[in-house]
């Protein structure tokens, strides 16, 4: 007996620094949310692509006791609603609420969020991509076996690009912004 499952490739996106601006004291309330220029338009432009669009985000403000999990989830939900109102689509969103010292499996650079998403959304990680603004994003995507990882220079990306590279970090692609990265990905198919 042969069981065939329809696994989907995904386009994983980090949230803070890729879609919205990083906040030095964390995004703690809706008033802290500022969308990166052209991010909403870029997400709208890929609405009909065949990839599942998935956000994977560390939100350690919860684990640090700065905001309750419910507030973090409400902020995230409003971000997703804003993307949708502007013509975009997000098929799933996965949050790690833990502090760095919690040593969890879901906090990037560990790949747990990608595994959660793959199971929940029937994703083929080997055909999937990640766009992030930190080396920890790239390490997590590579640990999950993604096809390609991409660093954008928005958010912390420009600073991260100048850091010493961890020896386990494999080659990656760099773009100035989410719109640039998406345009190149979709052009290459």
Would you call 139 helix, strand, or coil by DSSP? Answer: helix
Strand 92-96's sheet: what is its strand order?
92-96, 52-58, 10-13, 129-132, 148-152, 173-175
Question: Quick one: 10-188 is in which CATH superfamily?
Answer: HAD superfamily/HAD-like (3.40.50.1000)
Is the pTM for the entire model greater than 0.85?
Answer: yes
pLDDT averaged over 10-residue windows placed end to end, the chain, 189 residues: 73 98 96 97 96 98 98 98 98 98 97 98 98 98 98 97 96 97 83
Q: How far apart are CA 99 and CA 71, in angstroms?
A: 16
pLDDT of residue 187: 77
Chain-centroid distance, C-alpha 66: 22
Domain boundaries, the chain: 10-188
**How do residues 69-104 score in pLDDT, each as one tens digit?**
999 999 999 999 999 999 999 999 999 999 999 999
Active-site residues, by number, are 14, 16
**How do residues 16-32 score in pLDDT, each as one tens digit?**
999 999 999 999 999 99
Quickly list DSSP for 28-61. -SGGG--BPTTHHHHHHHTTTSSSEEEEEEE-HH
Q: How far apart are CA 12 and CA 127, in angstroms?
A: 11
């Amino acid at each position: 007996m042969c069981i065939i499952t329809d696994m989907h490739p995904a386009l994983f996106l980090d949230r803070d620094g890729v879609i919205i601006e990083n906040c030095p004291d964390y995004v703690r309330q809706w008033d802290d949310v500022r969308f990166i220029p052209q991010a909403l338009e870029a997400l709208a432009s890929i609405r009909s692509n065949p990839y599942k669009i998935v956000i994977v985000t560390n939100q350690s403000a919860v684990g640090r006791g700065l905001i309750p999990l419910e507030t973090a989830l409400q902020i995230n939900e409003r971000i997703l609603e804003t993307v949708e109102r502007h013509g975009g689509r997000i098929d799933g969103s996965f949050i790690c609420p833990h502090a760095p010292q919690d040593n969890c499996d879901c906090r990037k650079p560990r790949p747990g969020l990608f595994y959660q998403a793959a199971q929940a959304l029937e994703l083929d990680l080997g055909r999937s991509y990640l766009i992030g603004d930190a080396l920890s994003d790239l390490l997590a995507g590579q640990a999950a076996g993604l096809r390609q990882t991409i660093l954008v220079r928005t958010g912390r990306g420009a600073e991260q690009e100048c850091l010493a590279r961890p020896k386990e970090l494999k080659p990656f692609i760099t773009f100035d912004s989410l719109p640039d990265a998406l345009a190149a990905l979709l052009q290459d198919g």
